[in-house]
Amino acid sequence: MPDFHEELERRTEQFRHYLELMRQRHGEIAQGNCFIIFEECLDLNDRDARQLAASKALVYQASLEVGGWDNAADFGENIVADLPTEGWKGDDSSCRFIQFSFNPRYFDLDIPNTTLFRAEAEIILRRRSGFFYVKDDRRFEHPKENVDRFNPLRKIFVPGDERSAAEEMAFVFFNVWKFPVDWRFYVTAAAFHEKTDWEKGFPIA
């Protein structure tokens, strides 16, 4: 049986590879912004996945110029996010997923409340710096994003920081959600306004 730490490192590098690939696709292939979703199961018609697609389609109908980027240095542990009162995952009937969105200035990790129990959000905010709810820091709200309805737990990364983003994803999947480190995940990746569909439910393990 593989050593746990070796397997964790392999999976983290696997996540990093896909994030770097998306950065390259965004810069060299796509004419617009891109996304990648890592999910627990293959059901692409899942309710949470449909909600995610609907919310993100609104985000990128306009430019992704975000005010306050130059002041991002004070963005971190000093921000205290009051947890939303509703909209949390209700049971284990829906698939878990983590999404990344890519634009020219940065990429962000999004975890909607529909895939989180409240206690899990508390763990992430307590143990990992830099996560925030968009309502609590609107400097990183996307134009036309329906934050009042879709208010994801978000973290910002600059291009070249794919390894750190992969580590955060590994923390959520394996430490918070307790997936086995060799779990088979499914990847869907595309540009928002182009018929790319680089991956669509592609299995990785």
The pLDDT, as a whole number, for residue 48 is 46
Work out the burial of residue 46: count CB atoms within 10 Å of its CB; fewer than 13 is exposed, 13-18 middle, 19 or more buried: middle
Question: Mean pLDDT of all residues in the chain?
Answer: 78
- Mean pLDDT of all residues in 100-105: 90
The pLDDT, as a whole number, for residue 136 is 74
**What pLDDT digit, counting tens, does each position of 147-159 carry?**
666 778 899 999 9
pLDDT for residue 56 is more than 70: no
Nearest to 81 by CA among 117, 134, 123, 128: 134
Q: Do the Cβ atoms of 25 and 32 come closer than 8 Å?
A: no
pLDDT for residue 73 is more than 90: no
Strand order in the sheet with 97-102: 132-133, 153-157, 107-111, 97-102, 34-39, 185-191, 199-204
pLDDT for residue 125 is more than 60: yes
pLDDT for residue 205 is more than 60: yes
Tokens of residue 106, six digits: 């940065």
Percent of the chain with pLDDT over 90: 42
pLDDT band of 96, cuts 50, 70, 90: very high
The pLDDT, as a whole number, for residue 189 is 94
Q: Which of 79-83, 163-167, 182-186, 200-204 has the highest mean pLDDT?
A: 163-167
**19: enclosing H helix or E strand:** helix 4-28
113 SS3 class: helix
Q: Domain ranges for the chain, please list them.
A: 4-62+96-204
**What pLDDT digit, counting tens, does each position of 10-52 carry?**
999 999 999 999 999 998 888 778 999 999 986 545 444 444 4
The pLDDT, as a whole number, for residue 108 is 94
The pLDDT, as a whole number, for residue 71 is 38
The pLDDT, as a whole number, for residue 141 is 72
pTM: predicted TM-score of the whole model, two decimal places: 0.77
